[in-house]
Chains A and B, each alone.
With several copies, the nearest count.
Chain A
Amino acid sequence: MGMKSDLKLIKNGKRLDGRKPDELRPITIKAGVLDNANGSAYLEWGGNKVIAGVYGPRECLPRHRSSPYKAYLTYRYNMAPFSVDDRKRPGPDRRSTEISKISAEALERVIEVEKFPNTMINVFVEVLQADAGTRCAALTAAAVAAADAGLPMRDLIVSCAAGKIDDTVVLDLGKKEDNFGQADVPIAILPHSEEIVLLQMDGDLTKEEFKEAIDMSVKAAKQIYELQKKALTERFKKGGGKE
C-alpha cells in the first residue's frame, strides 16, 4: 500500500471526494456495447472506464489446452497505454498477469464451463481509463458481458474493494486513498450465495478491521448487483445487436 504522507484523507467524517466511509463512487453499467464480441459490457465506476467482451464457446486453440470435461476459460485484463497518467507500455506485465489469473479462477466458479467440453471461452477486459479499483470494475463488467453472451451461469459475480485510510475502514478506495492509504481488500462474491470467489489483501489490518472491510464490501456488492441486473434487463428489452 501507500506511501507515507501527511495528507489527511478523512476530515469531519468525510473523505476527500465528499463520500461517507461506506459509500460507493457512482457506477453505471451498459450491456451489449460491442458488435463482434458474443457478449459485452461497458462500465464506469468513479473515473474508471472499462469495457468487457466475451467470445465463445468456440474452437479451442491451441488444441492441447482443450479438455474433455470443460471449456478452457481465459481472462485477459489489459490496461490501454493511455489509461494512466504515465503511459503504460502495451502488453501484459506481472501485475496484469496476476489479476488475469485470479479473475479467471473466480469466473470459472460461475460460468458453467462443464457444459462446453473441448471448447474455449475468452474474456477480454480493456481498462480504458484507470482510477483505482480497476480489477474490481473489470470483473464486475466481465460478469455482465458473460451473461450478455448468453452463457449459462450459476450466478453473477460482483467485485468490490474496501480498505483502511486514516485508521478507518472505508469502502471503494479512490486514487489518492489507494496511494496513501493503509490497506486494500478487493473481493468478489456471488450475490446470491455470498460465496467469496476472489480475495486479495495488502497493507496492515487487525482481524477486526479485516472483518469490517469484508462486511462493508459484501453489503455494497448487493447495490452493485442491482446495477448489473438493470443493465442486463435493459439490454434484453432492447434486443440483440450493437445499437
Chain B
Amino acid sequence: MTVEDISWEIKTDYTRHLAKKKMREDKRKPFEYRKIELENGYIPNALGSTRVRLGKTEVIAGVSLVMGTPYPDKLNAGTLMTSVELTPIASPMFESGPPRPNAVEYARVVDRGIRESGTLDFEKLCVTEGEEVWMVILDLHVLDYNGNLFDAFALAAISALLNTKMPKYEDGKVIREETKGKLSVQKKPVECTFFKIGDMLMLDPSLGEDKALDARLTVATVGDRICAMQKGGNGSFTMKEIDELVDMSFKKSKELTKLL
C-alpha cells in the first residue's frame, strides 16, 4: 500500500458515505451531467477533430482517412478503427506503454456505439470493390482524466466524424489538401454512463465516483433505439434498475444530441 492508495481509500469511503445520503461531492443531482463544452476543428491538421470538456475531464478526438484494402468477408465496404491512448499526462494512474484493458474497453465500447448504429455507410466508403476502400481511423486522446471517459470519448468521436472533410482521391493518391464535401454521417449516436453506489443510481461519474462505484452501465442510443451497452464494475444491477437506466438514457441522450 502506497500513500496514494491510502488517500484513495479515504476518498472512496467519503464518496460512498455521501451516496448513502443521496448526495454527491460536487452537489450534482443524481442524473445531472457536469458542464459539457465542445470545440470542433480543434486540430486543423486533422480531417476531423473535436475537443470535449466534461467538467474537468478533457479529451480530443481526431479522424484520419487512409486508403486500404477491405476485409475478405466485406469486399465492398470501408472499415473503422478506434484507438484510445490513455496518455500519462492525463492522470497519475496512467502509465506509458501498450494499451491496457481499460483503454481497450473504452475504444471498443465507443467503436460499437458508432458501428452498430449505422452511423457510417461503409459501402459508400468503398472505392473499388475488393481493392480500395477508405479506412476511417478514430483516435481518442485524453489530456485530463476526471471521470467518465466513456461519454466524453463517445461525444468527441461522433462530433469529430460529423465535421470530417473527405480528401480527394485521384490516380491512386490521397490529396489531403483538396477536400470534396464531408464524410457521410447518417446517425448521431451518443452514450450515457450510469453507475451505482450502494442502492443509489447516478449519471456521469466524477473521478472519485469512478473509483468508488459498484457497478457501471453505459447505454448508447440513437433516437428511440439502443445500439450498444456495456456493464462494468464488480457489483451488479437488478433487472428493474437496468430498465430504469435504459429509460433515463433516452431522456439524457436528447441533451447530448443537442450539443452536436
Contact = CB atoms under 8 A, between A and B. Distances in A.
Indicate yes or no for A touching B, C-beta below 8 A: yes
Contacts of A80: 43, 60, 62, 85, 139, 141
A166 interface: no
A60 to B, nearest CB: 11
Interface string A124-140: 11101111000000000
Contacts of B116: 1, 202-204
A90 B97 CA distance: 10
Q: How large is the interface on B (under 10, 10 to 19, 20 to 34, 35 or more residues)?
A: 35 or more
Given A80-B139, A84-B45, A202 B225 contact: no
Contact of A76 (B88, B90, B224): B88
Contact of B243 (A51, A90, A211): A211
Interface stretch (A7-15, A20-28, A97-105): A97-105
Contacts of B242: 196, 199, 214
Given A47-B44, A94-B108, A82 B101 contact: no
B89 A51 contact: yes
Nearest to B61: A82
Q: Report whether over half of chain B's contact residues are helix, strand or loop; otherwise say mixed.
A: mixed
B236 A210 contact: no
A195 interface: yes
A58 B243 CA distance: 40
Interface residues of A, number: 67
A180 to B, nearest CB: 12
Given A190-B236, A207-B226, A49 B43 contact: yes
Contacts of A193: 236
Given A76-B88, A202-B116, A206-B224, A34 B144 contact: yes
A98 B60 contact: no
Contacts of A168: none
A101 B45 contact: no
A153 interface: no
A32 to B, nearest CB: 12
Given A55-B92, A80-B141, A201 B236 contact: no
A218 interface: yes
Contacts of B4: 59
Nearest to B224: A206
A166 B232 CA distance: 30
Interface of A: 1, 3, 34-37, 47, 49, 51-53, 55, 58-59, 68, 76, 78, 80-85, 87, 90-92, 94-95, 97-98, 100-102, 105, 108-109, 122, 124-126, 128-131, 185, 190, 193-207, 210-211, 214, 218, 242
